[in-house]
Amino acid sequence: MQLRMQKIGALIFRVTKNNMSLILKNIKNCVTWDSERGGMLIHENIDIAIEKDQIVEMGAHLGSADHAIDCSKNLVTPGFVDSHTHPVFLEGREKEFSMRLQGVSYEEIARAGGGIVSSVSGVREASEEMLIKKMTERMDTFLSLGTTTIEAKSGYGLDKDSELKSLSVIDKVNQAHAIDIHPTFMGAHAIPQEFKNDPNAYVQLICEEMLPAVRKQGIAEYCDVFCENGYFSSDMSKKILLTAKEHGLKIRLHADEFQNSLAANLAGELNAVSADHLMAISDEGIRALKENNVIATLLPGTTFFLGKTEYAPYAKMKALGLDIALATDFNPGSCHIQSMPFILSLACIYLKMDILDAIKATTVMGAKALQVEDEKGSLEVGKKADIVIWDLVDPVQIPYSVSKDCIDTVIKNGKIFKNS
Ligand SMILES: [Zn+2]
């Protein structure tokens, strides 16, 4: 069947009818989580049959379909699930990047009024349309890099109206874009300038005004807090997160990024879905995550982008059997990285992750960190057809090909996006 084509960012979208059937023929190597065995699996020479947006059959020599893609020379993996991003901002922060090259630290920049706070004026002044345009371009890039599901945080508004505007932007982009987006309210991303001398009053504003308004708006699924000494202390974070729970939001935390701030302990105490960053987590914090089934989401891109050398203690977490996800932490300041393939490289090189563990952490564990593992994150019958076809054969070639784009085609909900 000849498909009509349309260009979206770096992708050529092959327009498919809603009820089109698709078959990936004779896949050389198909790497995925296997729910029945509870482990990663490499299928060789397998077909995947797709009807509408779903995988309906997997096996050798399946029948025909409206459209077929020959994968006899290709590696195939699930689409990436990026469970931690900050994509609602206006402009990049290249100037700050230059300052850091001259030796000024991220914390010093933040104290001098840069950092997160400097993105705030951009979001406050921008129209919703402008933010939608910017975020849509970023989603095109994510999709071209193989990410099919994403979490997106507000948190550059830091007042009620601008936070609601940011969530509305996420919702509108989600409705229009092929990528599935899970919205998180993060009013507690930084203390805004006007509350610099009275941070507790800002916590009060979040609890008494922002969270009720966020609930009424009905977009956010999660509430996230930057729980770190000097930002939102463990006590402040606890107050915000308990209030968020009362308003029906599930919770996740930025935890122990720069120093042990007892954030992982709090994540365990409050049964957060995920605790993220964790470069400075204590042994006790690791145990708290394990005992309370909190997913540890590691963001090696941030350590790398900030030029730091201390990565999260992955080996200890693995030894204790934690669920571990990997995500980009894409944001304009501390991690301007959108590529999950690059995150795989960092995880293998710096966290010493095994390649199959790293693929697991970027697919099925990312899905678990967004509580969508029943329908996404693996290639199994009944799951969504969210698939990456690579110009590669062996999974280890993904992290090995650090600077090369090796994605041939992305399939999202059964629709085909060919990299141009
Ligand atoms: Zn973050």
CATH no. for residue 349?
3.20.20.140
Three-state DSSP at 418 gives: strand
Residue 118 lies in a domain: yes
| Ligand 1 centre distance from Cα of residue 334 (Å) | 9
Residue 414 lies in a domain: yes
pLDDT of the chain, 420 residues: tens digit per residue: 556 666 766 666 666 666 679 999 999 999 999 999 999 999 999 999 999 999 999 999 998 899 999 999 999 999 999 999 999 999 999 888 888 889 888 778 877 777 887 899 999 999 999 999 999 999 999 999 999 999 999 999 999 999 999 999 999 999 999 999 999 999 999 999 899 999 999 999 999 999 999 999 999 999 999 999 989 999 999 999 999 999 999 999 999 999 999 999 999 999 999 999 999 999 999 999 999 999 999 999 999 999 999 999 999 999 999 999 999 999 999 999 999 999 999 999 999 999 999 999 999 999 999 999 999 999 999 999 999 999 999 999 999 999 898 999 999 999 999 887
Q: Are 340 and 300 in a shared domain? A: yes
Number of helices (H) and strands (E), helices first, in the chain?
A: 16, 18
Residue 374 lies in a domain: no
Alpha helices, DSSP H, located in 207-363? 211-217, 234-246, 263-269, 283-291, 300-305, 314-319, 340-350, 355-362
| Ligand 1 centre distance from Cα of residue 331 (Å) | 7
| Range(s) of the domain holding residue 276 | 81-369
| Ligand 1 centre distance from Cα of residue 254 (Å) | 6
Please report where in the chains the tokens 């050798």 appear, as a residue: 60
Q: Are 211 and 316 in a shared domain? A: yes
Q: Are 66 and 88 in a shared domain? A: no
pLDDT for the residue numbered 300: 98
List of residues 6+ apart from 161 with CB closer than 8 A: none
pLDDT for the residue numbered 15: 61
**From CA 65, how far away is CA 276, in angstroms rounded?**
42
| Ligand 1 centre distance from Cα of residue 382 (Å) | 32
Count Cβ atoms within 10 A of the Cβ of residue 221 and give its class: 0-12 exposed, 13-18 middle, 19 or more buried.
middle
| Ligand 1 centre distance from Cα of residue 84 (Å) | 6
| Domain end call among 369, 390, 405 | 369
Please give the model's pTM, rounded to 2 decimal places: 0.96
Q: Are 342 and 388 in a shared domain? A: no
**From CA 412, how far away is CA 13, in angstroms rounded?**
10
| Ligand 1 centre distance from Cα of residue 267 (Å) | 15
Q: Are 73 and 88 in a shared domain? A: no
| Ligand 1 centre distance from Cα of residue 183 (Å) | 13
Q: Are 72 and 86 in a shared domain? A: no
Three-state DSSP at 46 gives: strand
Total of domains in the chain: 2
List of residues 6+ apart from 172 with CB closer than 8 A: 128, 132
DSSP 8-state class, residue 294: -
